[in-house]
Structure 1
């Protein structure tokens, strides 16, 4: 009996030691995980609740409460125009906001991506500016790679005093729509447009309208980060093929002479002074 009792005691002590060892390992792992979480929270900083979309939203779609949800977002990485309060995002339930740019699921809702309450998506012109449509084709429209938000130089080709000439008439004007869409995110590949709508001043509208009526307009795409302005001189056929300038000879007019007939005789007098 003593032998059995001693054996049971030894087995019990072994199991107890193993349980203590396992508990220490679990506690150590838990403490390590907690320390890592604390370090991560320190790096993230304070968190705030913000609105994100809970599904993909296309351009022009109305934004409703069912389309958004709140998640925690690091306060030190918060965009300036993000919505944090429901009464700001949905200030008037009878006047919904509309999507200006395509948004994916869980994308933050920013003021630059939605309209003001009650304002539908469409052309949004700055104060004092006008929209003007330019007819284009595959050649004049940069092979269909233009998108809303791009900037272009406009060239006019027509007949002038020296023959057919091409000249730069407008510099770095912004495109606000292609055909009938102002969404900059819909074009995933080249699209052959028929019209390109630009935002210009009223005096530029008159220049473009006259140029479009008297010749052909071509667009030249300006790089997104290009701050330079083109300063191209007019080019005609003579300059293009390198033909030398023509020398125009001016014939001198004969001096004014007064002729007086006296019977059958003609007498020439001093030339006119005027």
Structure 2
């Protein structure tokens, strides 16, 4: 009996050893297969770029301790990323300023920071070749609700034209850069601001300056995903009432020549040669 129990124990022990060896062998084969696949795949090229080392708020100066370098896939580099610390911080005494809030590990981009030593004011928000223009607004300007810098608006002028009062679209998709001189893009302004500063080309600035002095400007907020291209148009009282503009009467051209008959001067109609 004891010999039978011993035999069964040895058999079970041998089976356990066999199963363990089989499991180890299968695991080693799986690891080898994964390593072989990884070795056959091309290595992803990366480059170091600088990201925020902590949460950064609008207006904060960016110091060396506020950023860190991380490896980033070369084929997916964000536009305007900094890969060189000397470019990001050329002068420690003149730091760049955060123009937008950045979360930890978010790439630091040129569009999100000021130039070295430049404050986080309206001038830092302007694109190359553009100008800032401030529009006076009130409850009749078409603007209400929650607004913030970076929103887009259409600009309309209402004033006296040749056919009476008209409303004309001056420009579409103009970017707001400040509300009441506040350029923080992460701050939502509730209610109606006293003024809105927009970014515009010099020609549009001149047009709006003339518009403010000869009539009133109204604004209409553009949707976030709206890419509709609007042409310049105008509306007057006839458009609202559905009245067609009167047709101009065609006046036939008449050509005459003066001739004297005795003491009398007579106008004689002749065919026009022009």
Q: Same fold (TM over 0.5)?
A: yes
Q: Counterpart of 2:78 in 1: which secondary structure?
A: coil
Q: Does 2:193 align with 1:193?
A: yes
Task: State the match for 1:102 in structure 2.
Answer: 101
Deviation of 1:244 after TM superposition, in Å, equals 6.8
Deviation of 1:222 after TM superposition, in Å, equals 4.6
Q: Does 2:138 align with 1:137?
A: yes
Change (3 A) 1:20 1:210: same
Q: Counterpart of 1:121 in 2: which secondary structure?
A: coil
Task: State the match for 1:228 in structure 2.
Answer: 229
Q: Counterpart of 1:143 in 2: which secondary structure?
A: coil
Distance 2:201 2:218 in 1: 19
Q: Counterpart of 1:156 in 2: which secondary structure?
A: strand
Distance 2:244 2:79 in 1: 60
Deviation of 1:152 after TM superposition, in Å, equals 3.4
Task: State the match for 2:67 in structure 1.
Answer: 68
What per-residue deviation string (whole Å, max 9, x for no partner) do you get for residues 156-175 of structure 1? 22345654332334455433
Deviation of 1:120 after TM superposition, in Å, equals 2.2
8 Å contact kept, 1:138–1:144: no
Q: Counterpart of 1:198 in 2: which secondary structure?
A: strand
Report the number of matched residues.
243
Task: State the match for 1:213 in structure 2.
Answer: 213
Deviation of 1:80 after TM superposition, in Å, equals 4.0
What per-residue deviation string (whole Å, max 9, x for no partner) do you get for residues 215-244 of structure 1? 321113456653623221341x35432457
Distance 2:169 2:244 in 1: 23
Q: How does 1:29-44 map to 2 (within 5 A)?
A: 29-34=30-35, 38=38, 42=41
Gaps of 5+ in 2: 248-263, 265-274
Deviation of 1:104 after TM superposition, in Å, equals 1.8
Q: How does 1:120-199 map to 2 (within 5 A)?
A: 120-123=119-122, 124=124, 125-126=126-127, 129-144=130-145, 146-160=147-161, 162-187=163-188, 192-199=192-199
Distance 1:47 1:206 in 2: 48
8 Å contact kept, 1:143–1:192: yes
Runs of 4+ in structure 1 off by over 6 angstroms are 244-247
Higher Rg of the two aligned structures: 1
Change (3 A) 1:9 1:222: closer
Q: Counterpart of 1:132 in 2: which secondary structure?
A: strand
Distance 2:17 2:244 in 1: 107
TM-score norm. by structure 1 comes to: 0.69
Change (3 A) 1:131 1:85: closer
Deviation of 1:135 after TM superposition, in Å, equals 1.7
Task: State the match for 2:115 in structure 1.
Answer: 116
Q: Counterpart of 2:233 in 1: which secondary structure?
A: coil
Distance 2:200 2:231 in 1: 17
